Amino acid sequence: MQDRCQALPEDPAGSRADFASGEARAAYEPSPDEIRRASDLLKVVGDLTRMRILCALLRGELSVSDLQQSLDMSQSAVSHQLRSLRDANLVKYRREWKTVYYSLADDHVLDLITLVVEHIRHD
């Protein structure tokens, strides 16, 4: 089974800052702590299984069982990867009786996935 992330259309108003000038770029230069945290986050996203989970969640909220079936993985393997994504604040969850539902944590996660997919499609 092959999962594919679908890039979302660009915001017509333009959501990215204009980085034409060096001054604009310098304003966004991260601190050493932000660089470390960004690196840690990209390590989490860089795992193939976790990226597949994030891409599946682009469709909306899914239960662990839904993810298990969609990804053709065991429940324990899915839960293990979801724990890493939760720890990185990339997904959120809610419990309904015995069923746990997951979704992307916020629009920043959606933007991150979209930007990565747009970048690889650009080549």
What confidence score (pLDDT) does residue 29 get?
Answer: 87
* Tokens coding 63: 């239960």
Residue 47 token pair: 């795992």
Q: What mean pLDDT, rounded, does the chain reach? A: 85
| Complete DSSP assignment for 14-55 | --S----SHHHHHHTPPPHHHHHHHHHHHHHHTSHHHHHHHH
The residues pairing with 93 across neighbouring beta strands, listed in sequence order, are 102
- Residue 23 pLDDT > 60: yes
What mean pLDDT is predicted for residues 11-18? 49
Q: Residues 24-46: what's their mean pLDDT? A: 88
**Residue 60 binned pLDDT confidence (cut-offs 50, 70, 90):** very high
Residue type present at position 63: S
The count of other CB atoms within 10 Å of the CB of residue 62 is: 17
* Domain 31-122: assigned CATH number: 1.10.10.10
Lowest-pLDDT choice from 1-5, 58-62, 65-69: 1-5
- Dump pLDDT digits (tens) for 70-85: 999 999 999 999 999 9
